[in-house]
Amino acid sequence: MINQRISIVENILSANDRLASDNRQRLDSARLFSVNIMASPGAGKTSLIERTVKTLSNRLKIAVIDGDIATSLDADRAAAAGALAVQINTGGDCHLDAVMLQNALNTLELGELDLLIVENVGNLVCPAGFKLGTHSSVLVASVPEGDDKPYKYPGTYQGVDVLILNKIDLLPYVPFKMDYFKQGVQALNPGISTFPLSCLTGEGLSTWYEWVEIQVSRYRQATNST
């Protein structure tokens, strides 16, 4: 029975990979830089997106695609912050997949946008296994989750391009050994770009905003010259 389940999962994944690659082509044709934001529930994905949109929407035209198993709370917050917001209700599914993103892309004028932010379902296991076709994967960790998370969820920590450590304002109140956390991260993903910040106090956010703007501009230069 185990083998059968594995082969089913492999078939789903390879179909997903093909669609993810179609999504990437579409994004590239539209010259639209895109990020896939993953995290466990409550790490602060929505707050980060909200603040990013509020700060950058005067310079970049941003769309947010929000994956949730129910409700449109996150998309409402992204829209209120000034983004074009598309809600995907996965109907209980624990991750976004490339088909869901494809359907959401159909509702947007991709060529008119500068930045696409995809907010995945809050889950530290499954989303990392399903490519969407986005250009960059960002993991939002948070201080109160604890310093052992890289060790316990290696697949997700390994599979991302950028790490945000949110809620650093709580460092004085919780047991969190920064060295132990960093050691775990470095073992899995050496040299990964890391942004310690607080979406509550704003500390560290400007470096993250700069990173986003630089990525968008570098991506455009690269797609210009090809």
Cβ(86)–Cβ(108) below 8 Å: yes
82, 154, 159, 204: residue in contact with a copy of itself (rule CB under 8 A): 154
Site for a copy of itself contains 149 (CB under 8 A): yes
Cβ 154 to a copy of itself shortest distance, Å: 5
Q: Is the dihedral of CA 140, 142, 145, 148 positive or negative?
A: positive
Site for a copy of itself contains 175 (CB under 8 A): yes
Binding to a copy of itself (CB under 8 A) within 88-117 occurs at: 92, 94, 99
Cβ(76)–Cβ(50) below 8 Å: no
Cβ(67)–Cβ(45) below 8 Å: no
- Please state at what angle helix 205-225 crosses helix 45-56, rounded to 10 degrees: 70
Site for a copy of itself contains 82 (CB under 8 A): no
Helix (H) or strand (E) holding 163: strand 162-166
Q: Which is nearer to a copy of itself, 173 or 190 (CB)?
A: 173
For a copy of itself, how many residues bind (rule: CB under 8 A)? Answer: 42
CA angle 116, 182, 153 (to 5 degrees): 65
Cβ 131 to a copy of itself shortest distance, Å: 16
Choose the stretch contacting a copy of itself; rule: CB under 8 A; options: 22-30, 109-117, 141-149, 189-197.
141-149
Q: How many angstroms separate the CA atoms of 116 and 125, rounded?
A: 23
Q: Where are the beta strands (DSSP E) in 52-161?
A: 62-68, 84-89, 115-119, 136-142
Site for a copy of itself contains 15 (CB under 8 A): yes
Q: How many angstroms separate the CA atoms of 64 and 84, rounded?
A: 6
192, 200, 204, 211: residue in contact with a copy of itself (rule CB under 8 A): 200
Site for a copy of itself contains 120 (CB under 8 A): no
Q: Which is nearer to a copy of itself, 92 or 111 (CB)?
A: 92
Cβ(163)–Cβ(186) below 8 Å: no
DSSP 199: T
Cβ 173 to a copy of itself shortest distance, Å: 6
Cβ 211 to a copy of itself shortest distance, Å: 24
Site for a copy of itself contains 169 (CB under 8 A): yes
Q: How many angstroms separate the CA atoms of 117 and 85, rounded?
A: 10
The residues that touch a copy of itself, with contacts defined as CB under 8 A, are 1, 5, 8, 12, 15, 40-42, 68-71, 73-74, 92, 94, 99, 121-126, 129, 142, 144-146, 148-149, 151-155, 167, 169-170, 173-175, 200
